[in-house]
Structures are given as structure tokens and as C-alpha cells.
Amino acid sequence: MAHVAFFAIGAIAVASALGLILRPNAIHGALFLVVNLGSVAALYLMLGAEFLAAAQVIVYAGAIMVLFVFAIMVLIPGKEETGPDPRRGARLVAVPVGALLLLLLAFVIVGRWNAPRGAVVPSGSAAAVGRLLFTSYLFPFELTSVLLLAAMVGVLLLARRRA
């Protein structure tokens, strides 16, 4: 049962990822990416990472994708990719290179397919992750707030209309 669910969700994730990189329209790509992020959130749930599944839906599929869709609407892209590609040959090399990378990764993974398993299965609940974030990872957690503030100020500076 769990295997069936995993393969179904995995197929959705791979298909939506392919849709993202193959569809010419950027807004279709954004919707495919939302599907992909949602299926990864479902995989997090299957792995027992409940907090991350919720954060994935809220932060990625919610906030980040709204930003993407907003930028796509503002910029009205799509015209650039309809014409003939002057570097088509160079770009098509990417496919065998990507296949080679996949082969390399598969080689590494298969080599450790049956690596030793930890003693306990950790709980990924908000309480457990939060306790970890506010004890061992307290300093990086606080740095995150500085990073987000810096990003916010930087975006305001970049997006401001020059007088």
C-alpha cells in the first residue's frame, strides 16, 4: 500500500518536473511547480516529517509561488522563447549531460542502497523540530531572521523606481 502511494506520488512529481522544463509557457511551468511542491510535501508526510510538510505547503507552494506568479504576470514573458533558438545545438547537449549526472547519482545511491539504519525513527512533529531549532540550532535560527531582513531591504532597494 505504501509502495503504491510512493510510486504514484513519485510519478506525479517527476511528470510535473518534466512539465516545468518542457512547457514553453512560464505560467504553466509555475503551476507544474506547484504540483511538484505539493507532491514533495506528501512525500514528507510519508517520511513522518509533518512540520516540514506543512512548512512546504505554506512557504513554498504558498508564498514563493505567489511571488513567482506575480513576477510572471508583471514581466509578461514567453515571447523570448517562441522564436528559433540560436544556440539550440549547445542547449541540446544538456540532455546527455543531465543523463550522465543522473547515472553518476544512481551509481552513488545504488552503492549504499542497504546502508545501516539508525536505531530510532525520529518524530518530525512541530514540537520535536521546534525543540531542536530552539536548542542546538538557536544561533542559525536567529541568523535566518537577519538574512530575511537583509533580503527584504535589498528587494526594496532594487525594486524602487529611480527618481
Partner 1 sequence: MVPESYYVALSAVLFSIGVVGVVIRRNPLVIFMSIELMLNAANLALVAFGQRLGNLDGQAVVFFVMAVAAAEVAVGLAIIVSIFRVRRRLSVDDLSIMRW
Site for partner 1 in 67-106 (CB under 8 A): 67-68, 71-72, 74-75, 77-78, 80-81, 85-87, 91-92, 94-95, 97-99, 101-102, 105-106
126 makes contact with partner 1 (CB under 8 A) = no
Candidates 17, 35, 54, 57: give the one binding partner 1 (CB under 8 A): 17
Question: Quick one: DSSP state of residue 101?
Answer: H
Question: Which residue is listed with cell 510535473?
Answer: 16
Residue 116 is given by DSSP the state P
The C-alpha atoms of residue 9 and residue 2 are separated, in whole angstroms, by: 11
Burial of 43 (0-12, 13-18, 19+ CB in 10 A): middle
Tell me if residue 83 falls in helix, strand or coil: coil
C-alpha cell at 65: 509561488
Site string for partner 1, 43-62 (x = CB under 8 A): xx-xxxx-xx--xx--xx--
User: Is residue 64 a contact residue for partner 1 (CB under 8 A)?
Assistant: yes
Residues 6+ apart with CB under 8 A from 95: none
Least Å distance between CB 31 and partner 1? 11
What is the smallest separation between the CB atom of 152 and partner 1, expressed in angstroms?
7
| Distance in Å, CB of 52 to partner 1, minimum | 6
| 42 in contact with partner 1 (CB under 8 A) | no
> Applying CB under 8 A, which of residues 35, 54, 57, 124 lies at the interface with partner 1?
124
The answer to whether 57 touches 45, Cβ cutoff 8 Å, is no
By CB under 8 A, name the one of 84, 89, 119, 127 that touches partner 1: 119
